[in-house]
Amino acid sequence: MAIVQTGIGDAGVLQWQEQDPGTPGPGEVLLRQSVVGVNLIEIGMRQGAYPGPNPPFVPGFEGVGVVEAIGSDVDQVRVGQRVVYAFPPLGSYSETRVFPAEYLVPLPEDIDDETAAAMFMKGLTVWMLLERVYRVKAGDTILVHAAAGGTGLLMCQWAKSLGATVIGTVSTDEKARIAAAHGCDHPVNYTREDFRDTVRQVVGDAGLPVVYDSVGRDTFERSMECLAPTGTMALYGMASGEPDPYYLMRMGLDKSYFLTRPAVFVYVSRRDWLLQAAERLFVLVRSGAIRVEIHGRYPLRDAANAHQAVESRRTTGSTILTV
């Protein structure tokens, strides 16, 4: 059985249906899944805001499970092994599925299935942002939008472990409290305050070395205004929609920004990069530097309810589907 996205629209297009997982071909394995991670991108694809395949299809990029069978030419994992993944092809909202072995990571014994599904996609993304796109170092002050979200809470904690000061935006006082409890030094409730004012209060006119913007349309222009002259703008999501085009020449001669739209699937597309990122994440979780917060658990068949919770912005931390 699997959740099938039967059209573009509200959560009602997600339906619980019989699905044949097929048999693993060369380089592939058959997984029996235990937990599936929910990410905002699946909601964007369901709503038609992100490009996706034509329905019907099984959504989802992230899952945890046990290898049940392997095809030919598989040496990365073995039958019976617990594994985690966050990579295309789509299809993780399913009880069983076929998946390329190359993008599976064996799970250490001390990382349980729910924690793994709640953190893997989001954690790899934070690794990309804080340790690859711009290498955050002790003394940096950074701006993180959606700081109480699944990715946001991991980012606040990870950045603190690197010695950074974190300014984070949220939509409610309760989310501000939760972000603060996870390392956000200056939570900004943007329904009342302008985050540009907070940035000025914290760093004066110097500006920030980096802004991590996953909100897009509502924040992008103002995020750019927060940068230091050689700052990096990492536009890694568009929860509020696509920002208007930005005319680079308007920077003038007093600004030399780096502007990137990073995609995690590029940064973990080589197996050595993937294993390196995963190990870094496991070490931080194991050390206690990062606590993985699971806001909601839903049976896989109730994925529609999970989607409604995330898109209504009621959630903090991660949301998972149990199989």
Ligand X SMILES: NC(=O)c1ccc[n+]([C@@H]2O[C@H](COP(=O)([O-])OP(=O)(O)OC[C@H]3O[C@@H](n4cnc5c(N)ncnc54)[C@H](OP(=O)(O)O)[C@@H]3O)[C@@H](O)[C@H]2O)c1
| Footprint on this chain of ligand X (rule: CB under 6 A) | 39-41, 121-122, 125, 146, 148-152, 170-171, 175, 214-215, 236-237, 239-240, 262-264, 310, 313, 315
* Least gap, CB of 196 to ligand X (angstroms): 16
Q: Tell me if residue 156 falls in helix, strand or coil.
A: helix
Nearer to ligand X, 216 or 231 (CB): 216
Cβ of 217: how many Cβ atoms within 10 Å? Answer: 13
Task: Give the nearest distance from C-beta 132 to ligand X in angstroms.
Answer: 11
Q: Rank residues 39 and 165 by Cβ distance to ligand X and give the closer one.
A: 39
SS3 271: helix
Nearer to ligand X, 60 or 152 (CB): 152
Q: What's the full length of the chain, in residues?
A: 323
Look at residue 153 and give its three-state secondary structure: helix
Minimum CB distance to ligand X smaller for 77 or for 124: 124
Give the CA count within 13 Å in the CB-facing half-sphere of 143: 36
Nearest alpha-carbon partner for 273 in 77, 156, 132: 132
Smallest separation (angstroms) from ligand X to the CB of 172: 7
CB of 42 to ligand X, least distance (A): 9
Where do the DSSP E strands lie in 116-191?
A: 141-144, 165-170, 186-189
Instruction: Give the CB-nearest residue to ligand X.
Output: 149
Nearer to ligand X, 36 or 70 (CB): 36
Which CB sits closer to ligand X, 58 or 178?
A: 178
CA distances from 262 to 51, 214, 315 (A): 16, 11, 24
Min dist. Cβ of residue 285 to ligand X (A): 16
Q: Report whether 210 contacts 191 (CB < 8 A).
A: no
Least distance in angstroms from the C-beta of 189 to ligand X: 9
CB of 49 to ligand X, least distance (A): 10
Query: Is the distance from CB of 208 to CB of 232 less than 8 angstroms?
Result: no
- Residue 109 Cβ, how far from ligand X at the closest point, in Å? 26
Of 59, 266, 292, residue with least CA distance to 155 = 292
Closer residue to ligand X (CB): 3 or 146: 146
The nearer residue to ligand X, 96 or 190, going by C-beta atoms, is 190
The neighbouring-strand residues paired with 165 are: 141
Spatial contact of 113 and 82, defined as CB atoms under 8 Å apart: yes
CB neighbours of 146 closer than 8 A, spacing ≥ 6?
Answer: 152, 169, 170, 214, 215, 237, 239
Closest CA to 98 of 142, 139, 68: 68
